[in-house]
Structures are given as C-alpha cells and as structure tokens.
C-alpha cells in the first residue's frame, strides 16, 4: 500500500453498495479498507501485500 500511495494512487477500492472510495485506514490488515486486485486475484489487502517487480495491481469494486 505504501508503494501505491507513493505513486499517487490513493483510491484502492469502492464500497459494495454506495460506491464510496476507500484507501488505507489501519495499515495492519485488520480493517479491509485497502482491498485490491493483485495479478487478477481479488480481495488482497494492499497494506500487507509485498511489493514485487512486475505485479499488476488494480482497484477493486466492493468485495468481489
């Protein structure tokens, strides 16, 4: 998540029903506000995922 923030990406997902933007809240993997899709796998917590060269990260809509 810190690599995404450093790159200027603040919106990591949108809520399921109201489509409200979410970003990092707790930063320790407890709140699930930072869910993203990593290499086509949804529901990955950006705050605890390891940054690696070549991975594809995209925002997530709700909980997929």
- Containing 20, the helix (H) or strand (E) segment is none
Checking if the pLDDT of 15 tops 70, the result is: yes
Q: How confident is the model at residue 16 (pLDDT cuts 50, 70, 90)?
A: confident
Residue with tokens 């925002």: 59
Share of the chain above pLDDT 70, in %: 97
Rounded distance, CA 4 to CA 28, Å? 15
Give pLDDT tens digits for 44-54.
999 999 999 99
Query: Domain count of the chain?
Result: 1
- Residue 48's domain spans which residues? 2-61
């Amino acid at each position: 998540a810190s690599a995404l923030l450093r790159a200027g990406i603040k919106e990591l997902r949108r809520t399921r029903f109201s489509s409200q933007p979410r970003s990092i809240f707790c930063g320790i993997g407890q709140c699930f506000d930072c869910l993203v899709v990593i290499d086509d796998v949804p529901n990955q917590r950006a705050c605890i995922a390891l940054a690696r060269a070549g991975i594809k990260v995209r925002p997530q809509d709700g909980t997929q």
